[in-house]
Structure 1
Amino acid sequence: MPFESTEDAVRAWVHGWVVSRGAAEPSDRSWGFTVDVGHSREVARHVLTSADEATVRRLAESSPGGVALKVFVPAPVLEAWLPPGWGLLDGHDSLMAVSLGHVGAAPVLPDGYRLSSWHRGGVTRVLVRAADGGFAARGQIAVTGTTAAVDQVETDPAHQRRGLGRVVMRTLARTGAQQGARAAVLGATAEGRALYESVGWRVLAPLSAAALRTPEGGTD
């Protein structure tokens, strides 16, 4: 296992994510962390390293709109714990991790694509462009000591099934290892999970999220 415990992996994910997204330093809580995010649709988030119904309900009932809960339980379990007015957020599936061991050769792109990367503010970003210079794929990694968080991995639908996602992931893993990280973690969507598993990542825990519903019937 890349981390000694799931709680250690969550801590690495939180601290790497705030660097990746430029969020505030996490505040330690008895149940996990609070992070000020600063977006209009997500002003802050509570990340629960250990969750139970009473804690989830207490946090939800005391949180205004724009505050999200990130909880490491299956979505149906979290949904059953939520008070009236709250709903699940899409795009969450699992917390995943990988060991960053031997740094192999740089991955090779398919013909017609080119890769660039740059490092700024503690974050290394990788961009793949198509032959016409348009966007094809991307991802980024934030190294915080011996651990790292991978984030914002995306492949344009027109360029999927060409191995670009695997190139991005392997490039990020290589970058993290070169910067001293021994393990990496990420929050996966259901769609991204297959890609990550194909390059050696494994699921540590389910990941679900919730927020107060908006007046239009959605969630923040």
Structure 2
Amino acid sequence: MKKEVPLDIVEKWLKAWSLSRELPLPIKYKSGFMVDVGYENQKRRYVFQELNDDFIQLLKTIDEPNIFLKVCTSPNELKAVLSKKWIILPQGYMMACFHKMVIPKDHLNEKYKLEFESYNSTFVVRIVSQNGELASIGRVVLVDDLAIYDRISTEANHRRNGLASFLMKELEKIALANGVHYNFLVATEEGKLFYQSLGWELYSLYTSVVIN
């Protein structure tokens, strides 16, 4: 039986997504939420906890590109209600970790150092080389009792050095220091395998569509 994603989880995740990017906070749209993103390649995004009539009606009212609709369901279920103008984007995965992550590497290679920054309940950790080159970066956004991890990346020429795992541990330390123990994120296909290796579990499929 499919697990229903609680509405407050969706709202907190989307709020964190907006805070991290310094965008307007999400507002309620019927049974879902909307963010006025304002980018050239993404004007707005709508997010729903389930595939329902509100989502299906919204599909019918949008005729312009760069408006993204996102829902916690499988692409197969979504295909049944899509007209040909919509394309399904690469699969996303909502993931959760409600315990400490499993990260064996507890030290950073001496070739690297850490840098920290914070804004809007968002904490940024950077791993930079000794010559100042960015090697890895990630963010954790604290929204109530949830720590949402966002935009975790490692530069191609610095991969296979355990930097992403170390970065996740540093972000987790920030969440724990603020009394937040519940971790959440949305991963790509590639990212899903990495997070699973740290003890994260799949919470829900997260499927996105946009007009072609």
CA contact (8 A) 1:106 1:171 kept: no
- TM-score norm. by structure 2 comes to 0.87
Q: How does 1:27-46 map to 2 (within 5 A)?
A: 27-46=27-46
Assess if the C-alpha contact under 8 Å between 1:119 and 1:125 holds in 2: yes
Cα distance in 1 for partners of 2:201, 2:155 equals 24
2:107 is the counterpart of 1:108: yes
Match of 1:17 in 2: 17
Match of 2:141, as an amino acid? A
| 1:106 to 1:177, Cα distance in 2 relative to 1, 3 A | farther
TM-score by length of 1: 0.84
SS where residue 150 of structure 2 aligns?
Answer: strand
Structure 2 residue aligned with 1:94: 93
Moved over 4 A (4+): none
CA contact (8 A) 2:70 2:206 kept: yes
Query: Cα distance, 1:58 vs. partner?
Result: 1.6
Which residue pairs with 2:69 in the alignment?
Answer: 69
CA shift at 1:143, angstroms? 0.6
Q: 1:147·1:183 contact (CA, 8 Å) conserved in 2?
A: yes
Give 1:13 deviation, angstroms: 1.0
Taking a change above 3 Å as real, the CA distance of residues 20 and 198 of structure 1, as seen in their structure-2 partners, is same
Read off the aligned partner of 2:173 and give its amino acid letter: R
CA 1:79–1:113 in structure 2 vs 1: closer, same or farther (change >3 Å)? farther
After superposition, the C-alpha distances for 1:20-57 in whole angstroms (9 at most, x for unaligned) are: 122222222342211111211111111011214x4443
Aligned match of 1:202: 201
> 1:100 Cα shift?
5.4
Indicate how the Cα distance of structure 1 residues 30 and 96 shifts in structure 2: closer, same or farther if over 3 A, else same: same
Distance apart, 1:82 and its partner CA: 1.6
Identity within the alignment, % = 25
C-alpha distance in structure 2 between counterparts of 1:206 and 1:173, whole Å: 23
CA distance in 2, matches of 1:97, 1:12: 13
Q: Deviations over 1:77-136 (max 9, x none)?
A: 32342222111123x42001112559x999411231211111123211111112432121
Q: Check whether the contact 2:4–2:50 (CA below 8 A) recurs between aligned residues.
A: no
**Partner Cα distance (1:144, 1:56) in 2:** 25
Partner amino acid, structure 1, of 2:189? A
* Structure 1: distance between partners of 2:106 and 2:207: 32
Distance 1:144 1:187 in 2: 15
Q: How many residues align?
A: 207
1:1-220 equivalent positions in 2, closer than 5 A: 6-7=5-6, 8-52=8-52, 54-63=53-62, 64-90=64-90, 92-99=91-98, 107-213=106-212
On the 8 A contact 2:32/2:48 being kept in 1, the answer is yes
Q: Retained in 1: the 8 A contact 2:137–2:167?
A: yes
Per mean C-alpha deviation after superposition, the further-off stretch among 185-194 and 14-23 is: 14-23
Matched letter for residue 140 of structure 1: R
Counterpart CA distance in 1 for 2:28 and 2:178 is 26
Gaps of 5+ in 2: none
Is the contact between residue 100 and residue 173 of structure 1 (CA under 8 Å) also seen in structure 2?
A: no
Cα-Cα RMSD? 2.4
In structure 2, the CA distance between the partners of 1:161 and 1:25, relative to structure 1 (3 Å rule), is same
